[in-house]
Amino acid sequence: MSLESESMRLFIGIPVSLRTLRAVAGAATLIKEQSTAAKMDLRWVAPARYHVTLSYLGWVKPEVVPAIRDRVQRAIVGHKPFEMRCRDLGGFPSIDKAQVLWAGIDDGAGSLAALAGSVSAAMVELGFPAESRAFHPHLTMARCKGAPDLTKLVQSVPAHVFSKSAVESLLLYKSSVESETSEYEKIASWRLE
């Protein structure tokens, strides 16, 4: 039996407000029309799946989930609810050679980075590998084939400030791939006090 058949693919994330979801989805619709006309191959993320990932855990055995719940609960002690603002569009590794199109999160106060740091440290204590890349909060809008230059498409979106979201809770998501899209199931949650 393979690791994948015995395990679940998990990550810890933050949902966004309905207002943010709608605003980013509106921008995605504008870009989608133009990318289709330009014959670019972008695979769009359904707006209902928009979230900010704090910690990607990868393949995890079900018996580890209670320890994850406990460690995250302890890690978030002292973190108060706050607001984050979704703004700007960009791409990984860059907008002119995009493999991923994203809407960025403004973390000017550093609250989101601090929360992500606490959660990531708790997961490292459990034996999960530390993230090698710097934390860059974002909502993934699309995955791109062929690393297209999306500069003009992004510049065509009239406003790059989408909305605020209250950060009051974290979710443990189970991700499963159905054809070319991912399905997310919420399997645990934590509230910031």
Domain, as residue range, for 32: 3-191
pLDDT of 176? 87
Q: How many domains is the chain partitioned into structurally?
A: 1
CATH number of the domain that residue 157 is part of: 3.90.1140.10
pLDDT of 119? 98
Judge residue 96's burial from the number of C-beta atoms within 10 Å of its C-beta, 0-12 exposed, 13-18 middle, 19 or more buried: exposed
Question: Mean pLDDT per segment of 10 residues, for the chain of length 193 residues?
Answer: 70 95 93 92 94 96 97 97 93 96 92 97 96 93 94 83 90 82 89 94
pTM surpassing 0.85? yes
Judge residue 168's burial from the number of C-beta atoms within 10 Å of its C-beta, 0-12 exposed, 13-18 middle, 19 or more buried: middle
With b for 16 or more beta-carbon neighbours within 10 A and e for fewer, the 28-54 pattern comes to beebbeebeeeebebebbebebbbbbb
pLDDT of 158? 74
pLDDT of 178? 65
